Chain A
């Protein structure tokens, strides 16, 4: 199938590329743009490893056709840190030990970033719901939840 032109913004940069019509956003990020931080755990929408932020909302990028993201604003894990340092969520995952093998981590971090934008004062229960679609086989989630709670606190301080 012929590749077709596509434009969108990824991590603040306008990108133009040629992408086959059947390509998912996940495969496009990885294969066409070498943004391999976004992971493929299932390609079926079941694990959350491929979560990115699309126009402000966390989505599983394996279920999004690249061409349906035309002109969208996309943020991947590679686009989170600023020249001043890591995003509060990234920092909290490091401090609390919210990662082990790290394969689920980009997806969990993006799900958390998206969620904390909407709910800056979450309860632990809220956090569990927010990451309810993200599988992690290593950590048992406890430290992931602690990390997201810490990040919420840090972000509130940063914003006040």
Chain B
């Protein structure tokens, strides 16, 4: 490992002091003089025409200052991607239970809530469809009958409710299936998941004296919120300033415009600041969660265990609007394997449920559950060791990834080896006890990134980026800057920012910040360092190459006592020919850098009740280089525990008739508590990436992918039953133990034929 001064050492978060003393300010903590409170009226119908909305009683209630409906907004549809399928507030039609229909601003929250109860809406029901597989069938009620007239619609496949298709093909998959010694088919289902951030959605809005709109937001993507808000309010982008407040968890849910437009319009109407804070119930019912996913996988394998063909059809329920879109990319149907022939399809289907949101590499955890369960099934059927079977097929340096990129050097095999050694695999456990593994793949996120660093007269440096801190990313960015400039992390001031102040940057999500934003910070710091060196060379009368930068000084290599401190240089720069020292950097994308993680679970299954006790969980990830090991471990641990919740207990329940969320509370949506923890072991291997800052790779997403499959595979090892549906509840395991779930549940058959017919693959 390189000889680092700052990196690879654990540093407390730069914002830790504010957070442990209660001084950190979140959007809900904004209190402004004369501030009004906003409440939302949600639709009570799954799919209905709005006949009338009567707000007169609400408006007349003392303390109410304004009431708005969808008709108060410009008639402009918006969307997260190209397809504009949604109004910010329902207009003419509601598409799901929970959709905002009206909003109120009142002098206090209780009055606003009372006013909401006084708004009268008359609906006329339209046909609704809740199940995504039903939605795919021809003749199903159409969620958006006018879809083809929406801006950005570019999709041609028949089938009323299909709104997206991602696809990837290579080789001759049908031929390969015919030639394969064995062909295996499985279908898996994963459940609806709520992101579970602790801070409910909140925002405050105020029209300033100069007519500009200021939004205090709880967001991962201030520039995205600015652009979308400008579009739905039909207002110049430059009229809006977004101040991203401390973020109390987002995990993808806060990447885009949420409810900011309601307090914004209410503030424009009343001239007063307006604040909105969701209740926890609203977090569950109004905000886009992840919906259930059905995954059909077919694999052709030769006798020696070499996989030669893969077909994967994934049906994503997107709810009423495309929202975050179905998934993070099509390639995950292959998993971490090199497969010469494949046909991969991801379909998005509209249903009358709350629109889909993002959550930690959306869709990949669902696909990893399917692929890694399927790999385990195949290994057992072929009589191979599950780990050896994986190793035989892993993608390697020089192979071509699904996205067409050459696979660069990586630590995939080391992660598997580390898991094998830590657990002593293969191993026999007594009946009722089992061990299972899963191999997870992801890539380091990229996208537009900028940074600016100015050197202060006392030798400290101020770092300005537009990215919101998630998962301690500010601390990591400060570490990178400190490493480059040869100063301590305490000498980096991370500036607080807003969209007026900081340069544009992509949102904080998809494991993007440290890899891409970190690279921009590294480049900006190098730029600042080069300018310091040039100035020092000038002052000291030596060539720039003769100088080094460390310990807060620029010094002469051959004579280290000769030099100037960064403070002296910064002070001198003020009146120098080139002016004050500022380093800048800007980049759009970085090359493909995969991330691999091997994970293993040990479980104990009670045959009488089906209860699964997770006793041990081990993960090993290739992190490239650990910018801040304590933060990296924190990400890996937190991610794995989210994955454990997904595997065992978390389950968003939707009413099968109406699509309403049936368990909108923390008491009924069960996220892991401290008491649920297994023995959790976190290992890292370090194969530096080619382009990331100092070789770092993305960290945050993969730890959450593995638990569902690793635990399902461990359950199979323990008691010989295969659970193909999440969560792996005691109820489900017991049913399987009692033979009530058949091994070959085909959840998808007719639907698959129908899709293939539409694609023209079958007659």
Contacts and interface: CB of A to CB of B under 8 A. Distances in A.
Interface of A: 22, 30-31, 34-44, 46-47, 49, 76-78, 80-81, 86, 90-91, 93-97, 99-106, 109, 127-129, 131-145
A143 B634 contact: yes
25 contacts: A36-B25, A39-B199, A41-B200, A43-B279, A44-B280, A47-B280, A77-B20, A86-B17, A86-B20, A90-B21, A100-B471, A100-B634, A101-B248, A102-B15, A103-B26, A103-B198, A103-B248, A105-B19, A109-B20, A132-B673, A136-B198, A137-B671, A138-B249, A140-B634, A142-B637
Nearest to A20: B110
For the complex of A and B, 8 pairs with smallest distance between CB atoms? A37-B22, A103-B248, A102-B19, A140-B641, A140-B637, A46-B666, A77-B22, A36-B29
B13 interface: yes
B637 A139 contact: yes
B428 to A, nearest CB: 29
A94 B26 contact: no
A27 B372 CA distance: 47
A102 B198 CA distance: 9
B708 interface: no
B198 A141 contact: no
Nearest to A34: B31
Nearest to B23: A37
B666 A135 contact: yes
Given A22-B110, A105-B19, A105-B20, A138 B246 contact: no
Given A44-B280, A137-B198, A144-B674, A94 B16 contact: yes
A94 B28 CA distance: 24
Contacts of A39: 26, 198-199, 248
Contacts of B110: 22
A114 to B, nearest CB: 15
B12 A95 contact: yes
Nearest to B246: A102
B13 A137 contact: no
A49 B91 CA distance: 37
Given A44-B280, A95-B12, A100-B634, A128 B23 contact: no
Nearest to B196: A137
Interface string B89-104: 0000000000000000
A46 B677 contact: no
Contacts of A31: 31
Given A37-B21, A37-B22, A103-B199, A141 B677 contact: yes
A141 B674 contact: yes
Contacts of B195: 137
Given A103-B26, A137-B638, A142 B680 contact: yes
Contacts of A94: 12-13, 16-17, 20
B86 to A, nearest CB: 27
Nearest to A46: B666
A20 to B, nearest CB: 8
Nearest to A102: B19
Interface string B1-31: 0000000001011011111111111101101
A86 B21 contact: yes
A113 to B, nearest CB: 11
Given A76-B22, A104-B198, A137 B251 contact: yes
Most central of B246, B249, B279, B671 by chain A CB within 10 Å: B249
A95 B11 CA distance: 8
Contacts of A109: 20
Contacts of B640: 140
A45 to B, nearest CB: 8
Nearest to A95: B12
Given A97-B13, A135-B671, A49 B637 contact: no
A78 B17 CA distance: 12
Given A99-B13, A99-B19, A140-B672, 15 more contacts: A43-B280, A46-B667, A47-B280, A86-B20, A97-B10, A97-B634, A100-B13, A104-B198, A128-B674, A129-B675, A135-B198, A137-B638, A137-B671, A140-B639, A143-B634
Nearest to B16: A94
Given A46-B667, A142-B680, A78 B20 contact: no
Contacts of A96: 630
A97 B631 contact: yes
Contacts of A77: 20-22
Contacts of B280: 41-44, 46-47
Residue among B15, B18, B195, B674 with the most chain A CB within 10 A? B674
A135 B673 contact: yes
A139 B198 contact: no
B214 interface: no
B565 interface: no
Contacts of B675: 128-129, 132
Nearest to A76: B22
A53 to B, nearest CB: 13
Contact of A145 (B16, B671, B674): B674
Contact of B472 (A35, A80, A100, A133): A100
A81 B21 CA distance: 7
Given A44-B280, A100-B638, A140 B12 contact: no
Contact of B633 (A37, A90, A97): A97
B470 interface: yes
B198 A49 contact: yes
A67 B677 CA distance: 38
Nearest to A79: B22
B197 interface: yes
Nearest to B24: A102
A101 B471 CA distance: 7
Nearest to B703: A140
A141 B641 contact: yes
Contacts of B198: 39, 41, 47, 49, 101, 103-104, 135-138
Interface in B161-204: 195-200
Contacts of B15: 102
A40 B200 contact: yes
Interface centre among B10, B200, B246, B251 (most CB of A within 10 A): B200
A44 B667 contact: yes
A138 B29 contact: no
A81 B19 CA distance: 13
Contact of B21 (A44, A80, A95): A80
Given A76-B22, A77-B21, A139 B630 contact: no
A36 B22 CA distance: 7
A101 B666 contact: no
Nearest to A136: B198
Nearest to A105: B19
Contacts of B471: 100-101, 138
* Candidate in A76, A106, A136 with the most chain B CB atoms within 10 angstroms: A136
